[in-house]
Amino acid sequence: MWLQELVDASNAVAETRGRLEKIATLADLLKKAKPDEIRLVVAFLSGALLQGRIGIGWSIIAQARSVEPAREPSLELRDVHAVFARVSELEGTGVVRARVRALADLFGRVTTSEQDFLVRLMSGELRQGALEGVLAEAVAKAAGASGDAVREAAMMCGDLGEVACAALAEGVGVLSQYSIQMFRPVEPMLASPAESVGVALASFGEAAFELKLDGARIQAHKLDEEVRVFSRALRDVTAAVPEVVDAVRALPARRLILDGEVLALQVGGAPRPFQDTMRRFGRRTDVERLRMELPLTPFFFDCLYIDGQSLTAKRQRERFTVLGEVAGALAVPHRIITDPTLASEFFDAAIAAGHEGLMAKALDAPYAAGSRGSAWLKIKRVRTLDLVVLAAEWGSGRRKGWLSNLHLGARDPDRDRFIMLGKTFKGMTDQLLEWQTAALLEREIRREGHIVFVRPELVVEIAFNDLQESPQYPGGLALRFARVKGYRPDKTSDEADTLQTLQDIYRATTGREAPAPRG
């Protein structure tokens, strides 16, 4: 399949509002794909590479894209995949230059629309409306299967691409072979946000509340003495977490699949920053050294399988019972609450202890693997800052023609500048996007590719959950889960929050000094 065919389908889906039309377009594309191309089609349309992260950031993309695009399409999907595979294997001295050369060669062989697609694919900003739910329906339509059968198979398999290959090549009967199995990770169940514990209680009436841990999501599989641990992305991370392996191996069940989090803790038991935990999962991590310096503690909040029985269809309250029996002290304790006052007190205590907030869970819900529904709700602490817009990126898909992804900066009065802290495209209505585009273009000072740089005049109120250290941004800090609350026409850029304010927040929440700004 030509890359241009996939790009055309992606653009068509992005410009289509109707779900059924999106599904039909994607199903037609899948039918055209050869067996060895189906996984690539599914991955690319999902905004992912089969290699995972390949060490490509905006700087490398910008340098590589300086070449002239081709006039006519000439590359197939497998050609692009091969380039990504080579880039992922590059390492050592001069690796950045080598990545730029490889991508520049790729960009010089593709058309302008193909370039645009690849940039969004590599940067993680491919938002054309082909979310996995729509893709699953497209696979079902292409294979002549029911959407439920494809979704169930994908949940149990953990790989929609594999399911698509099987269904399209072998027929719908093969879908019945996908069931929960040892050492084949299941797509994790996801939570939707709730504004407050009161909203969560109003949704459920009676709910199980537990701590919202800010760690790394894990899924632990045990078969007798063998234990393997998988990440949120279903990657095998067993070698990185030997203490988790030891803890799970000691549990009484012979066959077991547990869902949970792993955290690095401070001496008093409070959680360390999320980035500390993630240090244990680096590609070149010295596991034994870090195990001594940064030990991990597992906490499990669900049980999916025990001694030959799948529990995913069981009610949450039943899974809680099994979890408590098998995991003991490793189980995250929960409290069944109906009183909003008690729930609010629990939330305040969780924040005071250094946690993200609370989870609220419906007691009669099954484990919906791979789904972000309303049976699990997450209630987090929210902070706001008044920041300055430094630049914005042209949107794609439904946001095509609007400036969407904002580059956000704080005042750095010591150096008389604004310093970038991150980006966000979340929280914007169509009305806001229209106004924002006009307002930013009035303040344009230059362009670099799809980025429009502006005079730092507009102040925007940004909600965020936490701060983390970031080598990517010159301030050394970045916002986590940033979203727009609204613009502040009553404020000038001289009244925006300062880098010092962010450093104070970081110090108060982590107990550590903030990194020094660069430049």
* Choice among 31, 32, 141, 212 that is catalytic: 212
Query: Do the strands 444-448 and 451-454 form a parallel or antiparallel pair, or are they unpaired?
Result: antiparallel
Q: Cα separation of 201 and 318, whole Å?
A: 20
Active site residue 22: no
Up-side HSE of residue 210: CA atoms within 13 Å toward CB?
20
Query: Would you say 519 and 474 are in contact if contact means Cβ atoms under 8 Å apart?
Result: yes
Find where tokens 């690796």 sit.
95
Query: Would you say 5 and 112 are in contact if contact means Cβ atoms under 8 Å apart?
Result: no
Residue type, position 216, single letter: A
* DSSP strands (E only) in 239-369: 255-264, 296-306, 309-310, 334-337, 357-362
| Angle of CA points 104, 108, 111, to nearest 5° | 130
Query: Do the strands 477-480 and 357-362 form a parallel or antiparallel pair, or are they unpaired?
Result: unpaired
Query: Would you say 250 and 259 are in contact if contact means Cβ atoms under 8 Å apart?
Result: no
Structure token pair of residue 121: 């694919």
Q: Is the four-CA dihedral 472, 478, 479, 480 of positive or negative sign?
A: positive
Find where tokens 């889906």 sit.
13
Query: Would you say 423 and 346 are in contact if contact means Cβ atoms under 8 Å apart?
Result: no
Scored b (16 or more CB within 10 A) or e, 314-331 reads: bebeebbebbeebbeebb
Q: Cα separation of 101 and 123, whole Å?
A: 17
Q: Cα separation of 433 and 401, whole Å?
A: 10
Structure token pair of residue 391: 């630049």
Quickly list DSSP for 43-69. HHHTT--TT---S--HHHHHHHTTSPP
**Beta pairing partners, 477:** 469
**Beta pairing partners, 424:** 406
Radius of gyration of the CA atoms of the chain, in A: 24
Active site residues: 212
